[in-house]
Amino acid sequence: MSIIEPNSLLSVPTGQLRILELPHTTEGADGESVYFSLVIPTYKEAANITKIVEILCSLLDEALNRDYELIVVDDDSPDGTWEVAHSLSQQYPQLRVMRRQNERGLSSAVIRGWQVARGQILGVIDGDLQHPPDVLLRLLHSIEQGADLAVASRHLEDGGVSRWNFIRRFLSRGAQVLGLIILPGVLGRVSDPMSGYFLLRRSAIVGATLNPVGYKILLEVIGRGNIGQIAEVGYVFCERREGESKVTWKQYVDYIHHLILLRRSTGKFKKIHFPIGRFLRFGLVGLSGVFVDMAVLYLLHDPTTLSLPLTRSKIISGEVAIINNFFWNDIWTFADVAMQQREWRQRLKRFLKFNIICLAGLVLNVLILNLVYNFVIHNAYIANLIAIAVATIWNFWVNLKLSWRVTQVK
C-alpha cells in the first residue's frame, strides 16, 4: 500500500502499552537492533526540534559510533513538528519519526516510542532543550555500570531548577510529598520522581503493561517495572527558550489519579481504602459552590441589585450552591457510579439525599464551631476552619455511602 523508503514515518503501534523482548533474529534494515534508543516526545516543538536533533546526533555519533537511534514521537502538532523532524531524517540517518493522530499524551507517546525501539537501552528526553543533552553520557555510563534505571535528578547536589518561582517550586515539592504519602514504595526510591529524563534497560520493563494516565512516566516504570539498582545523576533544569510548556492544572489532577491507580494495582496498601481522588474532586466541587453561593448572594442581596433581605437571599444562594455541587459531583466526582444509575428518578433520589446530607452537614458545622470555640481554641476563624474540615469529611463520607453508593455497583 505505502511506498517503503528508508526514512518513511514510523507506523504507530496499537493495542496494549507493553514493551516486548527484542526479536533474536535480525532481518532487513528495520529489524536491526541498536545499542541505545532515545525517545523524544514532542508537541509543538517545531522551533526546538532541529537544534536538539543536531546536538544529540553529534553527541551520540561520537560516543556510540552511530549505534543508536533517536525516535521523535509527535502528536500531530499543529506547528508541523513531525514534518520538520521528518525532513531532518535525510541528514540524520539515526533519526526516526512517528506521527500520532489517534492518540495523545506524553506518557503514551513515550511508551509507543519504546515499542518501536530496537535498543537494549531505552531512554527519554524532552524535546525543548530543558534537559541538558550532555547528561546523557553520564546516564549511559551508570547503566553500563550495572544500573537498571538511571535518572537525571534536579534534587541532587549538582542539580536544580533555574528560575522557578516560589509557587512552582512549592507545587512541585507538594506533589512529591503527596506521592510519598500515597506511594512511598515508588516515590521513595529516587530523589526526583517527577523527572522526565531517564534511561533504563529494556529487560527491566519487558512484559509489564504500562498505563498512559498522567505526565509522569517514571512513576509507571518504577511502579510496574522490575527495577533493581537505580542510579541518579544531577542536572539543572534549563529555562525554555522556544515554545511553551504544556503543563496545565489538568496534569495535577491526572497526577493524583495516577498515584491512586498505581497504588491500587501494585497492591501495596490495599488495607486503607479512603478514596482520595474522589475526595479531592469533592473538595474542588465544594469550592466551586462557595463562589456560586457568593455570586447569587450578591445578585439577590446587594443594594445595587435586587436588595432582598439577607436571610432570604442566603437560603436561596445556599440552595443554588447545593444544586451546583450536586450537578458537578454527579457528572464528575461520582461519574462512574452515576453512569450506572442514570434514570431521572434515580438522579432525583440522589439529589434529595445529597440535599438532606448537606443540610445535616451545615448543622454539624455550626455545632462543631461552637464546641471548638468554647472548649478548645478561642479563635473563631481557626474554629471555623476545623468545623468546615469536619463537615466536609462528613458530607463526603455520608454522600459516598448513601447518595452515590459505590458498594452497590460491581
> Contacting Mn ion (CB under 5 A), which of 130, 329, 333, 365?
130
Shortest Å, Cβ 70 to Mn ion: 18
Indicate which of Mn ion, ligand GDD, none lies near residue 147 (CB less than 5 to 8 Å, by partner kind): none
Indicate which of ligand GDD, Mn ion, none lies near residue 247 (CB less than 5 to 8 Å, by partner kind): ligand GDD
Measured N-to-C along each axis, helices 310-328 and 344-375 cross at an angle, to the nearest 10 degrees, of 120
- Return the number of the residue (40 or 357) whose C-beta is nearest ligand GDD: 40
Shortest Å, Cβ 293 to ligand GDD: 35
**Residues 89 and 98: beta-carbon distance below 8 Å:** no
> Contacting Mn ion (CB under 5 A), which of 69, 74, 75, 128?
128
Strands 198-201, 119-124: pairing is antiparallel
- Return the number of the residue (75 or 232) whose C-beta is nearest ligand GDD: 75
Q: How far apart are CA 124 and CA 115, in angstroms?
A: 13
Q: How far apart are CA 284 and CA 282, in angstroms?
A: 5
Indicate which of Mn ion, ligand GDD, none lies near residue 399 (CB less than 5 to 8 Å, by partner kind): none
Cα dihedral across residues 261, 121, 126, 159: positive or negative: positive
Shortest Å, Cβ 53 to ligand GDD: 12
- Return the number of the residue (89 or 195) whose C-beta is nearest ligand GDD: 195
Indicate which of Mn ion, ligand GDD, none lies near residue 194 (CB less than 5 to 8 Å, by partner kind): ligand GDD
The size of the interface with Mn ion (CB under 5 A), counted in residues, is 2
Shortest Å, Cβ 217 to ligand GDD: 7
Task: State the residues that interact with ligand GDD by CB under 6 A.
Answer: 41-43, 45, 73-75, 104-106, 109, 126-128, 130, 194-196, 215, 237, 245-247
- Return the number of the residue (42 or 94) whose C-beta is nearest ligand GDD: 42
- Return the number of the residue (130 or 399) whose C-beta is nearest ligand GDD: 130
Contact map string, positions 301 to 340, toward Mn ion, x by CB under 5 A:
----------------------------------------
- Return the number of the residue (128 or 330) whose C-beta is nearest Mn ion: 128
Shortest Å, Cβ 103 to ligand GDD: 9
The H or E element containing residue 12 is none
Shortest Å, Cβ 128 to ligand GDD: 5
Neighbours of 279 (CB within 10 A): 16
Q: How far apart are CA 232 and CA 215, in angstroms?
A: 20
**Nearest of 361, 238, 230 to residue 289 by alpha carbon:** 361
In order of 252, 384, 385, the CA distances from 373 in angstroms are: 35, 8, 11
Residue whose Cβ sits closest to ligand GDD: 196
- Return the number of the residue (46 or 204) whose C-beta is nearest ligand GDD: 46
Place of cell 529494556: 202
Q: Alpha helices of 329-406 — where are they, by DSSP H?
A: 335-340, 344-375, 380-398
**195 binds Mn ion per the rule CB under 5 A:** no
Q: How far apart are CA 65 and CA 63, in angstroms?
A: 6
Shortest Å, Cβ 60 to ligand GDD: 18
- Return the number of the residue (123 or 289) whose C-beta is nearest Mn ion: 123
- Return the number of the residue (69 or 128) whose C-beta is nearest Mn ion: 128
Shortest Å, Cβ 73 to ligand GDD: 5
How does DSSP assign 251-270, residue by residue?
A: HHHHHHHHHHHHHHHHTTT-
Shortest Å, Cβ 100 to ligand GDD: 7
Buried residues in 89-125 as b, exposed as e (16+ CB within 10 A): beebebbbbbbbeebebbbbbbbbbbbbbbbebbbbb
How does DSSP assign 159-222, residue by residue?
A: -EESS--HHHHHHHHHHHHHHHHH-HHHHTT-S-TT---EEEEGGGTTTPBP---SS-HHHHHH
- Return the number of the residue (79 or 319) whose C-beta is nearest ligand GDD: 79
What secondary structure letter does DSSP report for 376?
A: T
Shortest Å, Cβ 128 to Mn ion: 4
Measured N-to-C along each axis, helices 135-144 and 46-64 cross at an angle, to the nearest 10 degrees, of 50
Q: What residue ranges bind Mn ion (CB under 5 A)?
A: 128, 130
